[in-house]
Amino acid sequence: MTPQTILITGATDGLGRALADRFAQSGARLIIHGRSKRRCHEVAQEVSKASGNSQLEICVADFSRLRDVFAMIDQLRALTPTIDLLINNAGIGVEQARTITEDGYESVLQVNYLATYALSLGLAPAIKRACGRVVCVSSMSQAPIDFQDPQYENGWEGPQAYGRSKWAQVAFAAGMAARGGANAPSICSLHPGSFMPTKLVLGKYPVMDSLETGVETVWRVAHQSVSPDTNGMYFDQHGIALAIPEAYDASVQGKLLDLSAQLISKVPGNEIVGHWRDVLDSRAHRVAADTRK
C-alpha cells in the first residue's frame, strides 16, 4: 500500500513539530516545512530516528515572502504528483508592533493567512488528485477583517491583528468549500487548543492545554470522514464548533476571496497559484452581485 503524502507547515517547532512526530509514526511520507534549511534537516533526522520512518523530505520557505511560497508550490509540484493532507500550521502569534513584509502587507495577515491561501490553492490539484484534504490550524481568537482597512493601518493592536488572520483562515475554508464545487479538495479549519506550551505562548501567557491536546485534535479532524455537511466546517477538540458569525456570511466570504486574489496578484510569480484563485475570485464576484440584487 502506497503511504500517504503529508505536508506540515511550520513543522520545526511547537505544535507542528509534535504533529511531525505523530504522523511519521503512522508511516506516512512526510514533508517538513520550515524557514531554516538547517533546522528542517535537524528535525527530519530527529523525527526519522524516533519513528523509524525514513520517508521524510523538507521544504524551506519564509512565509513573510510570497515569492518563497510560490517557489515552494513549484518545488512540491515537482516533488510529488499527489498530496493526501496539507496541514496549514505555520504562523506567528501576537506581535508587539505593526510591521509590513517586503511584499508590502501587514505581517500577521500575510504569514498566517495569505500564505495559507496561496499554498492551499496552488497545491489544490495535487490534493484533489489524492482525494485529500486541507486542514487550517486556526484559533478561537477571531475577529473579522475590516475591508475598509484590510492592512490594519489604523489603530493596530496585536491581539486583534492575530484574530483577524485566524478568522480569515476560517472564512477562507468555509468559502472555498462553498464555492469550490466537486472538483475542489475538501477543506476545514480548527482550534487545536488554548495556550499550548509553544514559543508563541511560553513566557507570555499561562499554559492551559497540552501539545498532546492539539495533536489529537488535528489527528482526529484529519482522519474523519468528509461529507457535504462537514466540508468547510470549523472544529475544536470536541467536534464541530461555531466560529464568529461573519465567517459563514457568503457576501463576507466573497469579499475575503476577492481581497486575497487582489493581494496575491500584485506579487511576481503569483501565476503558479493559478486556476483555483481565478475560480474562487470569479464565484466571489457572482455571489456579491447576487447579494446586491
Residue 137: is its pLDDT beyond 60?
yes
Residue 203 has what pLDDT?
65
Beta strands in the chain (DSSP E): 5-8, 29-34, 56-60, 85-88, 133-137, 186-190, 234-236, 239-240
Total number of domains in the chain: 1
The CATH code of the domain that includes 137 is: 3.40.50.720
Q: Is the separation of the CB atoms in 140 and 254 below 8 Å? A: no
Residue from 223, 112, 88 nearest 163 by CA: 112
The strand pair at 5-8 and 85-88 is best described as parallel
Q: Which grid coordinates are listed for 152?
A: 490594519
Mean pLDDT lowest for which of 35-44, 196-205, 215-224?
Answer: 196-205
pLDDT for residue 148 is more than 60: yes
Question: Does the reported pTM lie above 0.85?
Answer: yes
Band (250; pLDDT cuts 50, 70, 90):
very high
User: Cα–chain-centroid distance for residue 269?
Assistant: 20
Give the mean pLDDT of 175-201.
84
CA 127 vs CA 22, 116, 130, 288: distances in Å: 21, 14, 5, 28
The three grid cell numbers given for residue 277, joined into one nine-digit string: 484563485
Distance of CA 7 to the CA centre of its chain: 11
CA distance 64 to 106: 10
**pLDDT, position 124:** 95
Phi–psi pair at 39, nearest 5 degrees: -65, -40
Q: For 107-135, what is the mean pLDDT?
A: 96
pLDDT for res 60:
98
Handedness of CA 46, 50, 52, 53 (dihedral sign): negative
Report CA-CA distances (Å) from 120 to 38, 134, 197. Answer: 25, 7, 27
- Count of H helices and E strands in the chain? 10, 8
The CA distance from 91 to 8, in Å, is 12
- Domain that residue 259 falls in: 5-292
DSSP state of 94: -
Catalytic residues: 162
> For residue 86, what are the β-bridge partners?
7, 134
pLDDT for position 290: 61
Under a CB-based contact definition with an 8 Å cutoff, are residues 187 and 232 in contact?
Answer: yes
**How much is the pLDDT for 286?**
65
C-alpha cell of residue 68: 518563497
Cα separation, 98 vs 156, in Å, equals: 7
Kindly report the average pLDDT of the chain as a whole number. Answer: 92
For the stretch 230-245, pLDDT in tens is 899 999 988 999 999 9
Residue 284, pLDDT > 80, answer no
| Residue 76 · residue 7 · CB < 8 Å | yes
Question: For residues 135 and 176, what is the distance between their CA atoms, to the nearest angstrom?
Answer: 12
